[in-house]
Amino acid sequence: MNLEEVLNFRRSVRNYQTDNNIDTEKVKHCLEMATLAPSSSNMQLWEFYHITDKAMIQKMAHASLGQAAVSTANQLVVFVARRDLFRSRAKQVLEFERENIKRNSPADRQASRIKGIEIYYGTMMPFLYARFFGLLGIFRKLLTLSVSLFRPMFTESTENDQRVVVHKSCALAAQTFMIAMANEGYDTCPLEGFDGRRVKKLLKLPYGAEINMIISCGIRNGDKGIRGDRFRIPFEEVYKIITPAPKGE
């Protein structure tokens, strides 16, 4: 399949063949492909929990409000947003980028570039991600709004804004995974209809982790797999092209 065919093949499948197993190694490889998704500041604040155990799948189905998309699934992947790992991830990116600059930047630019990424990952990232009962977020919001009075400034800086940032990137990894799975001829269904507290408990996740999406995996069960035709809002309704203003306006 070419990319367009893969994107047309991917549908949200709510009922899978229960006697047709998918290859765990192939699913794992699709998760490796998912890590190629872009992420905000390359922080990669995600984790993937790959569930192949049938008993665990049934427990997850219960936590997912009994949805057949989970109870009939062959495997599951839980995409978890790990905002709480910001310090260690920033450190890992910084260590890599320091060497990256030494390998790939012109000698006379290296010192200033290294200083730049040290400020970015050593000071700015901890400042943006740090939390203290919402108060640090309010402080950041006031600070960034004040600066934006005088020059363009990133002002989505509350603690809740940072949650959005982390979930956004995690969802890109989830979509990359679903496309990689479709490329293997495997089906998936993204789900947010679940009890996050129960899922966290089943996976023994720490307090700071948040479930981004559960993706069930398997092979569609004929006509029962997909609920009819695909609906999309007419493209003209969502497509807005910005053209140069006519002269004189």
Ligand X SMILES: Cc1cc2nc3c(=O)[nH]c(=O)nc-3n(C[C@H](O)[C@H](O)[C@H](O)COP(=O)(O)O)c2cc1C
* 136 CB-near residues (< 8 Å, 6+ apart): 130, 159
Size of the site for ligand X (CB under 6 A): 12
Nearest Cα residue to 76 out of 183, 206, 185, 203: 203
Stretch that binds ligand X, among 19-27, 47-55, 109-117, 185-193 (CB under 6 A): 185-193
* Residue of 230, 234, 243, 247 interacting with ligand X (CB under 6 A): 230
Under the binding rule (CB under 6 A), the answer on residue 11 touching ligand X is yes
Residue nearest to ligand X (CB): 193
Element (H, E) at 104: helix 86-104
Q: Does 173 bind ligand X (CB under 6 A)?
A: no
- Nearest Cα to Cα of residue 43 among 199, 233, 170: 170
Tell me phi and psi for residue 103, to 5 degrees: -75, -40
Element (H, E) at 26: helix 24-34
Binds ligand X (CB under 6 A): choice among 27, 30, 34, 69: 69
> Of 67 and 169, which has the nearer Cβ to ligand X?
67
Choosing from 213, 215, 217, 219, the residue that interacts with ligand X (CB under 6 A) is: 213
Contact flag: residue 193 with ligand X (CB under 6 A): yes
Residues 196/65, Cβ–Cβ less than 8 Å: no
Sheet holding 210-218, edge to edge: 46-51, 75-81, 210-218, 187-191
Three-state DSSP class for 128?
helix
Asked if 28 and 63 count as a contact pair (C-beta separation under 8 A), the reply is no
Minimum CB separation of residue 167 from ligand X in Å reads 10
The distance of closest approach from Cβ of residue 122 to ligand X in the complex, given in angstroms and rounded to an integer, is: 34
Q: Which of 6, 12, 28, 33 binds ligand X (CB under 6 A)?
A: 12
Q: Which is nearer to ligand X, 130 or 171 (CB)?
A: 171
Q: Which amino acid is at 217?
A: C
Q: Which is nearer to ligand X, 69 or 205 (CB)?
A: 69
Q: Which long-range contacts (CB under 8 A, 24 or more apart) does 49-54 make?
A: 49/77, 49/78, 49/80, 49/203, 50/24, 50/75, 50/76, 50/77, 51/75, 51/76, 51/77, 51/78, 52/24
Q: Does 5 bind ligand X (CB under 6 A)?
A: no
User: Site mask, ligand X, residues 89-108, x = CB under 6 A?
Assistant: --------------------
Stretch that binds ligand X, among 103-111, 147-155, 187-195, 241-249 (CB under 6 A): 187-195
Which residue's CB is nearer to ligand X, number 38 or number 193?
193
Query: C-beta of 41: minimal distance to ligand X in Å?
Result: 23
Q: Nearest distance from residue 170's CB to ligand X, in Å?
A: 11
Select from 56, 32, 58 the least CA-distant residue to 204: 56
Residues near ligand X, by CB under 6 A: 11-12, 14, 67, 69, 189-193, 213, 230
